[in-house]
């Protein structure tokens, strides 16, 4: 029984010292930190200069949002393709078929986006 109490005292001491160290470090950060002037650009949600509290009729191109969505889509597709391409030597015929089918679907999607002028690499006459 005394061995159990001895271990309990050791664990309790360790927990108390951990909390004490955490409180000491938090106090040191509070004392040693300095406050700076509030910068509106750094504290805003948009660091690109977009002011969300300006006029409501501010023109915003939808093309930027479409490009961002397409970037995320193709970025995720690349994340899916990387592990597949690194283990392609272990694939059987049906897995290679599905990989090629995935490449075809991604390529057809890109061609569709180019044909609908969602992704325009050149200026088109309107």
Q: Which two tokens stand for residue 94?
A: 């049906």
By CB atoms closer than 10 A (0-12, 13-18, 19+), residue 66 is middle
The answer to whether residue 23 scores a pLDDT higher than 90 is yes
Lowest mean pLDDT among 10-24, 75-89, 91-105: 75-89
pTM for the model stands at 0.43
Q: How confident is the model at residue 28 (pLDDT cuts 50, 70, 90)?
A: very high
Q: Which two tokens stand for residue 95?
A: 């897995």
Q: Where are the alpha helices (DSSP H) in the chain?
A: 2-32, 40-43, 62-86, 93-115
Q: Which two tokens stand for residue 45?
A: 């949600």
Q: How far is CA 90 from CA 65, 83, 87, 94, in A?
A: 39, 12, 6, 12
Asked whether 68 and 74 are in contact (CB, 8 A), the reply is: no
């Amino acid at each position: 029984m005394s061995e159990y109490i001895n271990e309990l005292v050791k664990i309790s001491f360790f927990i108390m010292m951990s909390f004490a160290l955490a409180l000491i470090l938090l106090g040191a950060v509070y004392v040693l930190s300095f406050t700076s002037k509030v910068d509106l650009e750094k504290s805003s949600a948009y660091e690109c200069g977009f002011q969300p509290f300006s006029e409501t009729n501010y023109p915003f191109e939808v093309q930027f949002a479409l490009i961002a969505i397409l970037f995320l889509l193709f970025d995720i597709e690349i994340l899916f393709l990387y592990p597949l391409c690194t283990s392609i030597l272990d694939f059987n015929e049906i897995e290679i078929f599905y990989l090629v089918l995935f490449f075809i679907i991604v390529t057809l999607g890109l061609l569709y986006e180019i044909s609908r002028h969602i992704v325009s690499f050149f200026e088109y006459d309107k």
